[in-house]
Structure 1
Amino acid sequence: MTAALVRHPLARSTGALVGRAGLEAARDMLADLLAPTAQHSWPLLDAATGCSVSVKHENHNPTGAFKVRGGLVYTTHLKAERPGLTGVVCATRGNFGQSIALAARRVGLSATIVVPHGNNPEKNAAMRAYGATLIEHGDDFVAASEHARARAAEQGLHPVPSFHPWLVAGVGTYGLELFTAAPDLDAVFVPIGMGSGICGLISARNALGLSTRIYGVVSETVDAYRRSFLAGTPVSCDSADTIADGIAVRVPHPDALEAILGGAEDVLTVTDDEIRAAMGLYFTATHNVAEGAGAAPLAALRRYRDALGLAGKRVGLILSGGNADRALFADVLSRATP
């Protein structure tokens, strides 16, 4: 049986997924704003993994990640519903904030973005370049989120959530593109941050009636979604320590978890060393830059291929995003084996 037909035994009904009509409406909304991203096969990547790999290049989007799809759909809906609104605020580790900054500017809203101290300096610079007011607060995403909510109350700003059906609908358009171009994939690996990416992928798989297995990927040191998948209920973790800031989420979103329980085959963990190796492999095999979260799916395929029976199979990898900072990427390349 397949992941499209079998629900996790502890899953409940969920409103986190989006139906085909919602995905197609989001696709039509984005048609004049974003070009579809490519699915590429790379012979050197096939040789390195022992699979027939199709990479969905969400790193080629503006902002370098699939988040921009959701940001544009969310702010477009928001402005239509609240034409008098002047500004939004959100918390982020980088890619989500870039998407909201870009999208807010497009619809005529100000954007205030809260990041934790020590956040990726190049992502911070990119958010400022898109016109956002950037605030550094707290030591992790949870603390930044609390401060963003306080700012919203104090300044009359709309707090943009990190997970919402409008975000899932926008992000899910990449799944429509992937599965329309490659409907015969046996499995797809996708990173899990707050959950819009994997929920969008599950939504698209289900909407098209496919049986592709979907595997979420998290850091071994920030494994809240792995713990939650096993428990069938949200379980937080204490650490946010990983080089993959896009998946450094300590507190799962309950709606996202419900969708993952019902639609994902498993949630897998990878180490930072495995992520570094995957970042290096992406560069040597495809000459694409992958940040930690973007490389995590490739790391998971390499680690779990045999255990999951995927040798020689058709596998999709979601490369989102491509915003590795210079110092980290230089370190990765210095260690990479040609």
Structure 2
Amino acid sequence: MDEEEETKEKERRHLADCMNTIIRQLGTDKKNPAVHTYRSTLNSFRKFSGGAEAEMPIDEVFKPGKLKEYETWLRQKGLKWNSVSTYMRTLKAVYNRLYLPGSAEHDPGLFDDVYTKVESQTKRALDKEQMQTLLDAASAGLPEDVQCVLVYFLLMFLFRGMPFIDLCYLRKQDLQGNCIVYCRHKTGRQIVVRIPREAQQWFERYRNKKAGSTYLFPILSEAAKEDEEVYACYRQALRRFNRQLKKMASLSMPGVKISSYTARHTWATLAYHQGINTGVISQALGHSSIKVTETYLKPFKDEMVDAANEELIVSVMKSKKDKNAA
């Protein structure tokens, strides 16, 4: 058995060996969010299995009973279902790598008894009136730190629901005339966003004016050079951004929850209510497929169908009443 075959055989014996190989490849491909997800999953399963010295043999990990025990352990630790799903889907990806779907070794029903779905995030969307409140608040003399985070939030919305990670990573070179041309961090798809007239004043005020700086907005530290360092810096910025958004919401709209995802989901749902084609919304958001966009919008489609049904019933009942009156 040569060295490569020995390595592959070792990966098939222990979860940590297999996942560390995947993590190294993801790092080489500069897929830092995926690196973070795989590391978090490995560290979590290692704690579940007894700590740093746990061997975690593959044939013991990928058993229905063990996976269910892990799911229960995660919930007892207070994790929400979406977090549980992230860990389970990561383990499922590892399993499918080890045992190719369709092969004799693969069990297609192994993960049927654990949670691998993604709950809809559409509850994070604001309505038109709430967005108008935030637009008005941007001119209301808020404290500078709150004002800044609000402007970033509004720019994300005005830039067609730009994710916070993409806003952070924007480079000065991405600004081409009155457009921002960049590649989505998650999918690598190129996006071209024209800076709306309504965003010009805020954009000019809060863009990075420091000479020699790389970034379009002063969010990430210039000191971070390596990909993993930059991503760690982004993670810190994200936590800080969400804390500040919570503070901003408490001042502007008490009782309303706002997070870094809200601007993106709000843009998508308001665009849908405006009658914009789902394909156009998908392209604007830079989604990998229309299916992803439909996940955002499904509850709103159901609401619109229910509303149409109510209008139809009212119309039929009115016709019946008019006929009886005659």
TM class by smaller structure: under 0.3
Larger radius of gyration: 2
Structure richer in strand, relative to its length: 1
Scaled by the length of structure 2, what TM-score is found? 0.26
Scaled by the length of structure 1, what TM-score is found? 0.25
- Tell which has more relative contact order, 1 or 2 (C-alpha 8 A, sep 6+): 1
Structure richer in helix, relative to its length: 2
